[in-house]
Structures are given as C-alpha cells and as structure tokens.
Structure 1
Amino acid sequence: MLFYSILFPIISLIAIIWLLWRYLNEKDSLITVILWAVFLIIVSVFAIFPHASTTFAKLFGITRGLDFIIIIVFAVLVYTIFKLYYKIDKLEDNINKIVKEVALSNEISLKDKED
C-alpha cells in the first residue's frame, strides 16, 4: 500500500472530526459539514482504491479516472469561490449600512452640540 493511501484517509478523518467540532460549536452549518465530509470520504476511497475513480468516471462518461478527479476538484473549488464571493459581497453591504448609520447618528449628535 502506498504512503498516500494511508495518509489521505487519516487526514480526512481528522478533518471530519474538526468539522463536527465546528458544527457542535455552531461555527459551521450542517450542510457545510455534510458536503465536506462527503468530499473527504470520496478522497479517502480514491486514495485506498485508486481504480475506483475509473469506475466512477465511466459512469459519468469520462474515460480516465484522473480526469474525473480533476473535474470534481475543480467543481468544489468553483463552489467555494462563489460561496466566498457571496459572503464578501454580503459583508460589504453590511459594512456600508453600518457606516451610513454611524455617519447619520454622528451628524445628529454634532447638530445637538452646536445648538
């Protein structure tokens, strides 16, 4: 058995435990934990049984297992980028609202001091 076929499942198990800990401390949502756990389990299966990727690839009409893995990783990365973009956009909107509220409250308090 190759080194990575032992290392990847161990790292995946540690990551799943960490994700569960974050969920129990209400830092991650259940859907996030489930998605990452499924992804990590798939990575572990492919590390232990490398030919399984070819079997899955043929189910989706892809000829090589490595191509299938690259497509899956690319899809996960794109999903993560879109999720981060959405969160950043939402944070920018919240910051703008807070700055406007603070500016308006300071304007009112400054007028009160002048009178």
Structure 2
Amino acid sequence: MLLYSILFPIISILAILWFFYRYLKQKQSLATVILWTVLWLFVILFSIFPAASERFARLFGITRGLDFIIIVVFLVLFYIIFRLYNRIDILQDEINKIVKEVAINNEITLDDEEDE
C-alpha cells in the first residue's frame, strides 16, 4: 500500500472532525460542513481506491481519472474564490455604510468651531 493511501484518509478524517467541531462551536454553517465532508470523503475514496476516479471520469466523459480529479479541484477552487469575492464585496458595502454613518454623526459645523 502506498503512503498516500494511508496518509490522505487520516488527514481527511481529521479535517472532517475539525469541520464538525467548528460547526458545533457555531463557526461554520451546516452547508459548509456538508460540502467539505463530501469533498474529503472523495479524497478518502480516491486515495484508497484510485480506480474509482476513472469510473467517475467516464461518467462525465473524461478519459483519465487524474484529469477528472484535477477538473473537480479547479471547480471547487473557483467556487471558493467566487464565494470569497462575494463575501468581500458585501463586507466592503457594510464598511462604507458604517463609515458614512460615523461621518454624519461626527460632523463638525462651522458654528461649533466658532464657539470654542
């Protein structure tokens, strides 16, 4: 048995446990935990049974199992980048609103400066 077929399942199980721990501490949503659990289960499956990737590849019309894994990894990475971009955009809008409110609440008028 190759080293990766022992090491990857151990890392995957630890990652799944970590996501469940973060979910129990209410730091992750259930959807995120499910998504990552499914992905880590595929890592376990493909590391123990490498031929399974070829079967999945054929289902999608891809010739080699490794090509299928690489395509899936890219899709997951693009999805994560898309989600991060959207989250950053929302945070930037919220920061702009807060800064505007603080600026309006702390507005200094000319009358205030003359009184001093």
TM over 0.5: yes
Superposed CA deviations along residues 41-86 of structure 1, whole A, max 9, x for unmatched, are 0011000011110011011111100010001000100000000000
The answer for the alignment partner of 2:52 in structure 1 is: 52
The answer for the alignment partner of 1:89 in structure 2 is: 89
Structure 1 gaps of 5+ residues are none
Structure-2 separation of matches of 1:52 and 1:84: 31
The answer for the alignment partner of 2:8 in structure 1 is: 8
Percent identity over the alignment is 65
Across the aligned residues of Structure 1 and Structure 2, the Cα RMSD in angstroms comes to 1.4
Superposed CA deviations along residues 69-114 of structure 1, whole A, max 9, x for unmatched, are 001000100000000000000110010000000000001xx34x81
The answer for the alignment partner of 2:65 in structure 1 is: 65
The answer for the alignment partner of 2:34 in structure 1 is: 34
Q: What is the TM-score when the length of structure 1 is the normalising length?
A: 0.94
Amino acid at match of 1:102: V
Structure 2 gaps of 5+ residues are none
Amino acid at match of 2:51: H
Structure-1 separation of matches of 2:65 and 2:31: 27
Q: What is the TM-score when the length of structure 2 is the normalising length?
A: 0.93
The answer for the alignment partner of 2:98 in structure 1 is: 98
Structure-2 separation of matches of 1:16 and 1:43: 11
Structure-2 separation of matches of 1:105 and 1:25: 36
Amino acid at match of 1:88: I
